[in-house]
Amino acid sequence: MKSILLAVAIMFSSGAFAACEISNTGLPDNVVQKLKTDCETLRLEQINKEVLEKGPSGSGPFITPERVTGWAQVAEGFANAVGAAAKQLNVSVNEFITTPAGLITIGVILWKVVGTSLLKLLAMYGIFILCRAILRVMWRVGSEPVQRKFAWWTWTHNKPIYVTWKGAEDTLCGMSFLVLAAGGIAMAILLASLVV
């Protein structure tokens, strides 16, 4: 089971960074060069096929003129909202911003603009911390007392002991893989909702 999980992890990690490396084959140099050329040609065809399937809505550059225009409209809307609030109170914008009411107004406007994005980032961080804590509990087999010393203080600290990969049971590895997969999927969904 452990070898299967390791093979799956290597397959997923190497799939994104696959390269046409052919070495230690004992083949003549011209045959190795021909194999590398064929491999690179197939990779290029696959990349072109994926780009055509995605079409114009595929993943392009993050900063585009449309997004910059959208960000400019958000900034303009923010400035207009602060200006309108200051105008209602018959004060200048600079005077209004320094007051507690101005700071609260700015906070509310910023929350309306970027509040959900901040919550999604905090949720991603929370998922990471939760997965890490679950994995630590799963892989922990005990603890040993260790004495710590700082200046004249001495205290005993319980250092956790974790099982090694070789000593881990198949069920532990499988459950760890499921925890990592679930956390990764949840974080990817949140990240995709941030970018889109």
Mean per-residue pLDDT pooled into runs of 10, the chain (196 residues): 63 54 65 71 72 56 69 74 76 79 80 82 94 94 90 88 89 92 92 80
Split into its structural domains, the chain has a count of 2
Are 140 and 113 in contact by the 8 Å Cβ rule? The answer is: no
Classify residue 137: in a domain, yes or no. yes
Of the three residues 59, 77, 105, the one that is the final residue of a domain is: 59
Identify whether residues 45 and 119 lie together within a single domain: no
Classify residue 41: in a domain, yes or no. yes
Domain hosting 163: range is: 115-149+157-196
Say what the pTM is.
0.53
The dihedral sign for the CA sequence 65, 66, 67, 73: positive
Beta bridge partners of 159: 144
Where b means 16+ CB within 10 Å and e means fewer, 61-73 reads eeeeeeeeeeeee
Classify residue 71: in a domain, yes or no. no
pLDDT for the residue numbered 17: 47
Among candidates 167, 114, 158, which has minimal Cα distance to 139?
A: 167
pLDDT for the residue numbered 37: 75
Classify residue 162: in a domain, yes or no. yes
